[in-house]
Structure 1
């Protein structure tokens, strides 16, 4: 950990093949998407916060998902836009560490949020009579605590271990820092770091399988009931789309882990930022369109009524 206090600056090489025209084109899309992502997520957060009728478990978990998306997108966009709009190609080690922590917390937080939301939908559809008994205020607080504590624990552990050895390389081939980037810059790696990374990927796989099993049971329950089918289409479809959208974004981590080098710099950069740009933008759009109470509040057509839990 002695290398943290050294005055290292890391060089971002992801834009080496980009001319100014390519940069301007990318910024012309990235900046509006970033601003719109902030507006969409902030709108959902304010609606859920200030509308008492939406103070139900499903919407509380959705609010946490939006907060997590804001953290992730804000951890990426500002620094990336600086690289694109200026001649700046360096980032201090301290800034890289902070960004790595934010992005790891965001990535794991997406899966913890979506897994908890899958539990909520499973109970609402498969055990509707016990829903409010099971999803008590204590349970909701416990689940929200898990949504944030587990990602922070994983983030602190992985980033700390990535800094275990001094750095021998200083070139970053992405537009952002994360723990695998720091590990690849280190002079060496040890088996303990491999174990922790294995634990991270196993945790992701467990969340993935857990959500799939939950939805398999939900779908089976929906085949026997028209009411359940209506609940599924209104509340589960947006969650399922968000889950698949987030899972597809893991191409970033896989590309980094297996060091795919056959792609051009531009193609690699585009693929690497999907996980940080698409889910935070798509999630509030999907939920705003599909969830009737939120859609009604946004459009001011009527007061929201919670009738689909």
Structure 2
């Protein structure tokens, strides 16, 4: 107990071979970051500028893209800076900020996917009520639901973590997350565990809502050819994004809660980075390729750019 203190600097995990392959790592992760920003910003701009895409489904898709940029920015600039300096340390306040950004982004993504499932449920199962249920006011409420609960949830989680006296300062991960900070404490973390269980239960309930929505959608599609057409056009990309993000979240949870030094380091790093690399990169690509209206507008904007150049 005498060793407990409050550290102002944390040490992050150093990637294997970072000294030998520093320039390769930097080039690869810079390319990933630029690509994530490019595809998400491009799709967001297309949706904002095209008035025909000012529908709830596309507005929520734009929110998903904005969130992808937000979450990626919480990781890549700091990691690229660490690679250049070959110094994997982070001040405690920056660590808390990074954990806040990355995990509010993850929670916002899940909330947005739940809202998009509700949007598709109303559009397919109750098409006559769609514009009354998904009007500007209700869309504003749903967008607030995507952002406000994650911010409040993560703020409370970090507040509870900040109360703990720490006896270690080595975070066995390439970036900061709340559970990694909690694990540095040598005192009781029962309150943090209870709050974490409540938070996870809330987002599991969102997953249950999504599953129920899709069960009703599948039932509706059996009775109508038009419903089946809408399902394949708009729900399939959503399902891909949901599966993709759920797998990424599962990997991150496995890494944070059950990681072991017996695991190969490359596998552990993959588990940690999957949630940061895959969803923000593939979500806009999946929607951009599958949704006919989005694909058409993206191609149109690309052709216009090529003509001007």
What residue in structure 1 maps to residue 162 of structure 2? Answer: 163
What residue in structure 1 maps to residue 264 of structure 2? Answer: 264
Give the C-alpha shift of residue 135 in structure 1. Answer: 1.0
Give the C-alpha shift of residue 165 in structure 1. Answer: 1.0
Distance 1:156 1:213 in 2: 30
Distance 2:185 2:7 in 1: 15
What residue in structure 2 maps to residue 278 of structure 1? Answer: 278
Give the C-alpha shift of residue 6 in structure 1. Answer: 6.2
Does the 8 Å contact 2:18/2:86 carry over to 1? no
Distance 1:111 1:181, change over 3 A: same
Give the C-alpha shift of residue 291 in structure 1. Answer: 1.1
Q: Which runs of 5+ in 1 are unaligned?
A: 303-309
What residue in structure 2 maps to residue 98 of structure 1? Answer: 97
Distance 1:256 1:7, change over 3 A: closer
Give the C-alpha shift of residue 105 in structure 1. Answer: 0.4
Does the 8 Å contact 1:14/1:265 carry over to 2? no
Distance 1:93 1:262 in 2: 28
TM-score by length of 2: 0.91
Give the C-alpha shift of residue 264 in structure 1. Answer: 2.4
Distance 1:49 1:72, change over 3 A: same
What residue in structure 2 maps to residue 29 of structure 1? Answer: 28
What residue in structure 2 maps to residue 205 of structure 1? Answer: 204
Structure 1 residues 110-119 or 195-204, which shifts more?
195-204
3-state SS of 2:11 partner = strand
What residue in structure 2 maps to residue 89 of structure 1? Answer: 88
The 5-angstrom pairing of residues 3-18 of structure 1 reads 8-15=8-15, 17-18=16-17
Give the C-alpha shift of residue 27 in structure 1. Answer: 3.3
Distance 2:21 2:54 in 1: 45
The 5-angstrom pairing of residues 280-299 of structure 1 reads 280-299=280-299
What residue in structure 1 maps to residue 243 of structure 2? Answer: 244
Number of residues of Structure 1 aligned to a counterpart in Structure 2: 297
The 5-angstrom pairing of residues 106-255 of structure 1 reads 106-250=105-249, 251-255=251-255
Give the C-alpha shift of residue 301 in structure 1. Answer: 8.6
Deviations 1:48-90 (A, max 9, x none): 1111111111111111111111111110111112222332121
3-state SS of 1:236 partner = helix
Give the C-alpha shift of residue 293 in structure 1. Answer: 1.3
Give the C-alpha shift of residue 169 in structure 1. Answer: 0.6
Does the 8 Å contact 1:18/1:266 carry over to 2? no
3-state SS of 2:173 partner = coil
Cα root mean square deviation, aligned: 1.8
3-state SS of 1:10 partner = strand
3-state SS of 2:183 partner = helix
Segments of 4+ moved more than 3 angstroms: 19-28
Does the 8 Å contact 2:157/2:196 carry over to 1? yes
Deviations 1:69-124 (A, max 9, x none): 11111101111122223321211111101101101101111110000000000000
Does the 8 Å contact 1:40/1:285 carry over to 2? yes
Does the 8 Å contact 2:10/2:171 carry over to 1? yes
